[in-house]
Chains A and B, each alone.
Chain A
Amino acid sequence: MDLRFTPDQEAFRAEARAWLSAHAPAAGSLPSLDTPDGFEAHRAWEQTMSADRWSVVSWPEEYGGRGVGILEWLIFEEEYWRIQAPTRVSQNGIFLLAPTMFEFGTDEQKTRFLPPMASGEEIWCQGWSEPDAGSDLAGIRSRAQRAPGDDGWLLTGQKTWASRGAYAEWCFGLFRTDPEAERHRGLTYFLLATDSPGVTVRPIPQIDGEPGFAEIFFESVFVPDSQVLGDVGQGWSVAMATAGSERGLSLRSPARYTEAASRLVSLYAAQLDRAPDRAARSADAVAQAWMDAEAYRLNTYWTACRVLAGGRVGPEASANKIHWSETDLAIHRAALGLLGPEAELTGGGGAAGNPWLDGFLFALAGPIYAGTNEIQRNVVAERLLGLPRG
């Protein structure tokens, strides 16, 4: 066992750190990515990263990456969050769709879709949830029927809670191609442009008032056969590969939390002078939040080394999702506790914003999206502990 990084890994870290400190916008300087201006500013940052091959370091070079391994990706993420670089506007594509496309996509699909995903030229949103299919995702009713020319499909129905849906150029999602089949079968994974005829996007303001997600309506939207990912009728198992990476290793790297936890400790240290009684009352929560982030970091490296040795991330991904989402919430709740009555101030009117409040609102979504934590606990109980399905 050795937890130290190799000299090559340290050199990679130094190179990433130097590039990021020379190029990354100042922390918090871009407008919210859920506003039109902010979305384009974040896209421009993706293009800057992509030009020097830093947007998707773990991808093969032919698609815009550097072909580095998972440990190097984690190192890059540590440097990325350390400098508080912008939120990745392309994250649905690069972290959720791309792993699935590498596994199930044709060469033509990879060549067509991955480079513009890496450069931020095409931003993706996720079309999974429907009004009547949330936690019960297999209850999807949006349908795809063969098009009259037999060269594609006509999609009809409604998707909702599509993050980045308000501005994204492309959407990946599940549609029912065989209404007669058992409900987990008969689903197919489609890729479609959101400017296709028959698509209507209606942004939904989130809890902070910004249109972070959207409803998407489909009325006989034509999608060619070349935009089916994986086999027709196999959408559920194809999609679960994406779900595994969303809950597992790739969507939420530990650096996001370890860096937030470091800032929480700094806030605590500052409040020891400003509001010592409140700091004393928050001490246990601050320490626990820091520990939760550190435990997540260690568990991620432990899992990454298991994957490098040929292991797969199975139902442990559900334990992971529960832990990171609750850690994020614990960090921000502790911070709001330290701020006390100041926590509610949003910092409008020209003052600097309140990143702890923004972060708290963001963290509240974590236990809900990517499969609620209640569903994840069912998975842990059934697949890790062998308890019977209800």
Chain B
Amino acid sequence: MRFAFTEQQTQFRDALRQVLDKECTPDDLRDACNAPMARSRRWATLAEMGVAGLTVPEAHGGLGLHLLDLAPLLEEAGRAALPEPLIETTALAAPLLAAFPSDRVTGWLEAIAGGQITAAVAAIDERGWMAAPTPDGSVVVAADGADLFILPAAADPDGRALELHAVPVADVSVTSVASLDPTRRLGTVGWEPSPTTLIASGDQARSTLGDLAERAAVATAAELLGLADRMITMAATYAKDRNQFGKPIGSFQAVKHLLAGAQVKLEFARPAVYAAAWSLGDPELVGSPQGARSASLAKAYASDAATEAARVSLQVHGAIGYTWECDLHLYLKRAWALAESWGSAADHRRRILSSLVDEVRPTQG
């Protein structure tokens, strides 16, 4: 057993943090809120670093790495509340496309690695984990401005025969949908399935969407770790600077215990997320009940850790934290959105328990 990141993985994380500290400041986030766009100068920088194309096969200009390598980078993206769709494009769309090679797919993979396109991923998941806030999955994250759409379709009226399509922006009409965090760029997508856009159908489509949901849960969990860390750090810094009753409010136990409680939750979420990212690359665990529980543990723990960090960091900031001027809300809103995406903590607890009970009572399922 060697449950640790490699020197190389750690260095990549540090390099990304340095870049995002400069290029994804709170002011940059405010600009992104005012004028949401899918591909910024920052996305080009991420492509140059190899981040955007990290999961694209080397033959198509990427680094050919895995979600485990991406996890620490997603954590940094979360810490910075990166507005660009790193989860959708790099954690989800690129590995999915790479599994269905064709000339069209090759072009898209090369464009992802080159930073020329971003992707949006709509997921109808039969277990009811929604990436977007409508039950039919019609509102799609990162849709407004995306160049490529991964879209599921029902091939029969019952919705039992699934198809999976990869559709370029020219073949869709996107209507933006307002949400709490404008940088999420939600939208509805109008489109018609066609043979040219079809990439998988039937059981293959179904299992691909199942894998996608596991990857999405873990990738989202990784971003939530970074967000939680950011919010706790901001609140701890504020608690050291803000004086009341003649001393820093951080010297009061009531304040200390709020932040310590959130920090403990975060500390225990981290290894759970890293283990889940590793499990997704282990052939024996992919698709197994144990692998599914690992992904659900990661998402449930990270969602709860980030929700707690959000609640506590706002409370420690007091009234200033409730203002538009204070930067805290930029991170709170992303945390609230991601905590509910790809399955809430409660969804994943329910999934874990039913999986465990299946093992105890195999005949009654």
Seen from chain A, the residues whose Cβ lies within 8 Å of a Cβ on chain B are: 1-6, 9, 71, 265-266, 268-269, 272, 283-284, 286-288, 290-292, 294-296, 298-299, 301-302, 304-306, 309, 316, 319, 322-323, 374, 376-378, 380-382, 384-390
* Dominant secondary structure of chain A at its interface with chain B: helix
Partner of B352, one of A291, A301, A322, A380: A291
Instruction: List 22 A–B pairs whose Cβ atoms lie within 8 Å, in order of A's numbering.
Output: A1-B6, A3-B3, A3-B282, A5-B1, A265-B357, A272-B361, A287-B350, A290-B353, A292-B268, A295-B297, A298-B271, A299-B267, A299-B270, A306-B4, A316-B267, A319-B268, A377-B257, A378-B256, A378-B260, A387-B240, A387-B259, A388-B248
Question: For residue A300, which residue of chain B has the nearest CB?
Answer: B271
Q: Does B2 contact A (CB under 8 A)?
A: yes
Q: Which residue of B lies closest to A261 (CB)?
A: B356
Q: Are B259 and A385 in contact (CB under 8 A)?
A: yes
Most chain B CB within 10 A, of A1, A268, A283, A294, is at: A1
A1 touches B274 (CB 8 A): yes
Do A291 and B300 touch (CB < 8 A)?
Answer: yes
Across the interface, do A1 and B267 meet the contact criterion of CB distance under 8 Å? no
- Residues from chain B with a CB closer than 8 A to the CB of A1 are 2-6, 68, 274, 278
Residues of B within 8 A of A301 (CB): 1, 3, 271
Given contacts A377-B264, A381-B263, 18 further A-B contacts (CB under 8 A): A1-B278, A3-B278, A268-B353, A287-B352, A290-B356, A294-B297, A295-B272, A296-B268, A319-B267, A377-B257, A377-B260, A378-B257, A384-B260, A385-B263, A387-B236, A387-B251, A390-B251, A390-B256
Docked-complex contact B236 and A295, CB < 8 angstroms: no
Considering the chains assembled together, what is the distance between the CA atoms of A296 and B261 in angstroms?
Answer: 15
CB pair B3 A387 closer than 8 Å: no
Prevailing SS type, chain B contact patch: helix
- Asked if B227 is at the interface (CB within 8 A of a chain A CB), the reply is no
Q: Does B113 have its Cβ within 8 Å of any Cβ on chain A?
A: no
- B253 near A: Cβ within 8 Å? yes
A258 to chain B, nearest CB (A): 12
A287 with B250: CB separation less than 8 A: no
Whether A381 touches B250, Cβ cut-off 8 Å, given contacts A299-B267, A323-B264, is: yes
Residue of A whose beta carbon sits closest to that of B361: A269
Say how far B23's CB is from chain A's closest CB, in angstroms.
Answer: 27
> Which residues of A sit under 8 angstroms from B239, Cβ to Cβ?
387
Query: Is B232 touching A385 in the complex (CB atoms < 8 A)?
Result: yes
Q: Are A287 and B267 in contact (CB under 8 A)?
A: no
Partner of B353, one of A9, A287, A309, A389: A287
Query: Per a CB cutoff under 8 Å, which of A283, A294, A309, A374 touches B257?
Result: A374
| A209 → B minimal CB distance (Å) | 33
Let me know if B271 and A377 touch, CB within 8 A.
Answer: no
Q: Please name the residue on chain B nearest to A75 by beta carbon.
A: B1
- The distance from the CB of A316 to the nearest CB of chain B, in whole angstroms, is 7
**Is B43 interfacial (CB 8 A cutoff)?**
no
> B250 near A388 (CB under 8 angstroms)?
yes
Partner of B263, one of A283, A292, A380: A380
Query: Shortest distance in angstroms between A22's beta carbon and chain B's nearest beta carbon?
Result: 27
Could you tell me which residues of chain B, from 315 to 365, have a CB within 8 Å of some CB in chain A?
346, 349-350, 352-353, 356-357, 360-361
Question: In the complex, what's the smallest C-beta–C-beta distance from A75 to chain B, in angstroms?
Answer: 10
Q: In whole angstroms, what is the CA distance A4 to B283 when docked?
A: 12
**Nearest Cβ on chain B to A17's Cβ, whole angstroms:** 18
- Decide yes or no whether B252 CB sits under 8 A from chain A: yes
Q: Report chain A residues within 8 Å CB of B353.
A: 265, 268, 283, 286-287, 290
By a CB distance below 8 angstroms, the chain A residues around B6 are 1
| Complex CA–CA separation, A296 to B278 (angstroms) | 17
A286 and B355 CA atoms in complex are apart in Å by: 13
Q: Hey, which chain B residues are within 8 Å of A283, CB to CB?
A: 349-350, 353
With an 8 A cutoff between CB atoms, is B70 at the interface? no
A9 vs B293: C-alpha distance in the bound complex, in angstroms? 24
- Contact partners of A288 in chain B: CB under 8 A: 349
**B288-307 interface with A by 8 A CB criterion:** 293, 297, 300-301
A387/B357 in contact, CB under 8 A: no
